[in-house]
Structure 1
Amino acid sequence: MNQEHERNGDRAQGRILAFDTSTSSLAVAVMENGKVLAERNIHAERNHSAYLVEAIGEALAAAGVAKAELDGIAVGVGPGSYTGARIAVTTAKTLAWALSLPVYGVSSLEAIALGGWARGTAQDAAELGRALSAGPSGTLREDAPGQAADSTREPQAKEGSSGGSGHWIVPLVDARRGQAYTALFGAEAGMMPERLEPDGIRLMSVWTEQLSGLLEALAPEDRPSGVWFVGETALHEPAAEALRPLLGDALHLIPYELEGTWIGLTGTRRAGLRGGDDVHALEPNYTQLAEAEAKRLRER
């Protein structure tokens, strides 16, 4: 079987190199049809540029996959660290261009949501991978990964997507001054999360009030059986705990650092849903100006 036939036929998602550097965790994975062949996870806050290329090489070597055997590059575009997201996206674009491969920008928050929820519920990555190889599960709303949220509007969860046995996942990456990069996903056991609200930077006190209002608007039997705040939860625990009177034991806070497995599965899903991004136009999802740029604008 020749490589071209494998690319277009038997390997639906093919061999995907996926990585993310938008948080303190440097996460790399090599995937094949939803299966994790190898991963590398390094806590390298503010120093991703020194380790990323080496970690990619180590993961490929461990997987026994040469760069020429890859079918695509998936990269977390943030939101998160301004510099970190830029490092990953620049590296992904360079590799995709040099190897003539499609590049897939994915939401870092989606990967954090998946990984944190999977840890909290003891979900099996292999099971989710098999579901992906059979066909992408769940429905991905057609928001581009770089689309920022309007933090002033009320969340609008999809009808029928969150009630009863379902779960809500709220990924968190600290954005300082009481803010977090966050989003909202719905999930069912054995399935990939479904986006309910786009990525954005939100004031946590306002965000939890909005979530509370949305929950109160649901009949008790239609409320999610679990609401999971995952990721950088420590600084935002008081805001999340404001939902405790409403949710009781259904509220869960799971500290979590992104791992290669989950950026790999998120990238695999993205590769199976629609075509790649324009390698020249792909940009990080900053959601706000970098502090240096904001200062420059204020000075003007």
Structure 2
Amino acid sequence: MFVLGIEAATPVAGVAVVEDGRILAERLVNNRRTHSVNLLPMIKAVIEEAGITPKEINGVAVSAGPGSFTGLRIGMTTAKTLAWIWQIPVIGVSTLEALALPLVARDQILCPILNARKNEVYANIFKGRVGRPENLSGPLAIRISELVQRLDKWPGKITFIGDAVPVYQEEIQTLMGDRAAFGPQASQLPRGAAVAELGYLEMVAGGGVLPLELKADYIRLSEAEVKLAAKCGK
């Protein structure tokens, strides 16, 4: 079974092809070009590098949030369009679970955090285990101080990963001391391969939906929606 994975929920554009859980090809770009420019050439390249044709792909997995509203829309639209053209299922994958996946074999608490702006992070609390992480709490849009209070529920070290780590590392260390650990630089960026692998696991379990059924998980309202709600007095 071949699954194409697409990551566009953050400033990183990542795509990969996996076959039965094995990564065949992967590309990652972290530059200032928009995902609408990067994604399609990258998808074409990884399919060719995997040595297959689009007709052989069985499902398209895409990072469905939380993350950048613009990036999510570009990634979701790309995935849903390809799935519709190829007449295959599409699978929405948590951006935060995709971040945690490479560290799941470590038997500890993992806390992926993405920069949500407005002094908040998108966060999830996972327990590492073989296979895929166990979701303990989240996803959340939350301030670091509130997240640290929530993490007091679980003893021992907490490993933080994600693109919000460089922004909030000092504050986390101040609040948590030696309990806070931080993943390597490679763990700060979500990977298309992790999205594809989670999509593959969902496909094996009978998951996947029609393109029109897939919804993004934004977690909180966009700025435009906040302003509209205020204008309408809601």
Q: Please say whether Structure 1 and Structure 2 have the same fold, judged by a TM-score greater than 0.5.
A: yes
Q: Which of structures 1 and 2 has the bigger CA Rg?
A: 1
Partner residue in 2 for 1:211: 151
- Partners of 1:187 and 1:271 lie apart in 2 by 22
Partner residue in 2 for 1:19: 6
- Specify whether residues 227 and 43 from structure 1 end up closer, same or farther in structure 2 by C-alpha distance, changes over 3 A only: same
- Partners of 1:46 and 1:265 lie apart in 2 by 26
TM-score (norm 1): 0.71
- Partners of 1:252 and 1:111 lie apart in 2 by 19
- Partners of 2:212 and 2:65 lie apart in 1 by 17
For 1:186-205, list aligned pairs within 5 A. 186-188=127-129, 190-205=130-145
CA apart distance, 1:77 = 0.3
Query: CA contact under 8 A between 1:23 and 1:45: conserved in structure 2?
Result: no
Query: CA contact under 8 A between 2:69 and 2:222: conserved in structure 1?
Result: yes
| CA RMSD in angstroms, aligned pairs only | 1.8
CA apart distance, 1:285 = 1.0
Q: In the alignment, residue 56 of structure 2 is paired with which amino acid?
A: E
Partner residue in 2 for 1:29: 16
CA apart distance, 1:179 = 0.6
**1:173-232 Cα distance to aligned partner (Å, 9 max, x none):** 1111221011111113x43212112312112111111111x03xxxxxxx45x4210012
- Partners of 2:11 and 2:227 lie apart in 1 by 24
1:228 to 138, 147, 159: 159
Aligned residues: 227
TM-score (norm 2): 0.90
For 1:94-243, list aligned pairs within 5 A. 94-115=81-102, 117=103, 166-188=107-129, 190-212=130-152, 214-215=153-154, 223-224=155-156, 226-232=157-163, 233-241=165-173, 242-243=175-176
**1:5-52 Cα distance to aligned partner (Å, 9 max, x none):** xxxxxxxxx100011100011110101000000001011456101111
Counterpart secondary structure, 1:236: helix
Query: More deviation in 80-89 or 253-262?
Result: 253-262
**In proportion to residue count, which structure has more strand?**
2
Counterpart secondary structure, 1:274: coil
- Partners of 1:270 and 1:234 lie apart in 2 by 32
Structure 2 segments unaligned to the other structure (5+ residues): none
- Specify whether residues 104 and 252 from structure 1 end up closer, same or farther in structure 2 by C-alpha distance, changes over 3 A only: same
1:42 to 29, 37, 52: 29
Work out the percentage of aligned pairs sharing the same amino acid.
31
Q: In the alignment, residue 159 of structure 2 is paired with which amino acid?
A: W
- Partners of 2:197 and 2:47 lie apart in 1 by 16
For 1:71-90, list aligned pairs within 5 A. 71-90=58-77
- Partners of 1:45 and 1:292 lie apart in 2 by 24
Query: CA contact under 8 A between 2:62 and 2:196: conserved in structure 1?
Result: no
Partner residue in 1 for 2:200: 268
